[in-house]
């Protein structure tokens, strides 16, 4: 649990009682590679913090498997739109490695927000962090070539290269496996 509080300490300074309240709703789970955290077309009721392991969020678009997001240690995984809007979403979250996960149940969190102002603040900060991350990823896709996107990956999250299967990584970057293989050969 320390890892979680360490991670959020970057943008939030919780009082002891808030920290205590939050720790009571944090649940530790451990699953093997291939485990599905969120099934297709369901409402996502959890935010997941990855203490150890690797997850990917993906969906089927016109029959094709599209990887939307990848989360490694000390980051969050969530089917964001569903979590926020409370509507089912096509997104699936699966584990690419055996993982240790801390989960936060939506309703528990909603209960804490009105009671603890600084947890509400944490919620805002986390939404803001997510927003900047998605925006940056959007920028990277907007009028960039395959090579540019590969270079961004090398710069921002080079660790994915040796951990994430090539086909999934390619999809994450918005290109085919063959193209990613060629980009890699080029550098």
Please report whether residue 179 would count as binding DNA according to CB under 7 A.
yes
Q: In a 3-state reduction of DSSP, which class is residue 173?
A: coil
Answer for the pair 43, 92: CB distance below 8 angstroms, yes or no. Answer: no
Selection from DNA, its own copies, none that 184 binds (CB < 5 to 8 A by kind) is DNA
Selection from its own copies, DNA, none that 167 binds (CB < 5 to 8 A by kind) is DNA
Beta strand spans in 6-158 (E): 26-31, 36-38, 46-52, 55-61, 64-71, 75-77, 92-95, 99-105
Write the interaction track for DNA spanning residues 154-173; mark x where CB under 7 A is met and - where it is not. Answer: -----------xxx------
Q: Which of 65, 90, 94, 98 is nearest to 77 (CA)?
A: 94
Write the interaction track for DNA spanning residues 116-145; mark x where CB under 7 A is met and - where it is not. Answer: -----------------------------x
Q: In a 3-state reduction of DSSP, which class is residue 121?
A: helix
Total residues contacting its own copies (rule CB under 8 A)? 33
Identify the residue whose tokens are 């959890």.
46
- Would you tell me which residues interact with its own copies (CB under 8 A)? 61, 64, 66, 68, 80-81, 84-85, 113-114, 117, 120-121, 123-124, 127-132, 134-139, 141-144, 171, 174
């Amino acid at each position: 649990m320390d890892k979680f509080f360490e991670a959020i300490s970057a943008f939030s300074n919780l009082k002891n009682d808030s920290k205590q309240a939050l720790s009571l709703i944090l649940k530790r789970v451990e699953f093997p590679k291939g485990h599905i955290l969120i099934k297709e077309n369901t409402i996502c009721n959890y935010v997941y913090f990855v203490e150890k392991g690797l997850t990917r969020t993906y969906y089927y678009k016109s029959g094709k498997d599209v990887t939307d997001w990848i989360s490694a240690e000390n980051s969050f995984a969530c089917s964001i739109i569903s979590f926020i809007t409370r509507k089912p979403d096509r997104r699936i979250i699966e584990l690419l490695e055996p993982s240790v996960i801390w989960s936060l149940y939506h309703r528990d969190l909603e209960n804490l927000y009105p009671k603890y102002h600084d947890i509400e603040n944490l919620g805002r900060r986390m939404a803001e962090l997510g927003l900047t991350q998605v925006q940056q990823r959007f920028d990277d896709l907007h009028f960039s070539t395959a090579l540019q996107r590969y270079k961004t990956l090398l710069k921002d999250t080079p660790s994915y290269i040796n951990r994430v299967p090539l086909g999934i990584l390619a999809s994450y970057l918005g290109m085919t496996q063959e193209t990613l293989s060629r980009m890699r050969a080029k550098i």
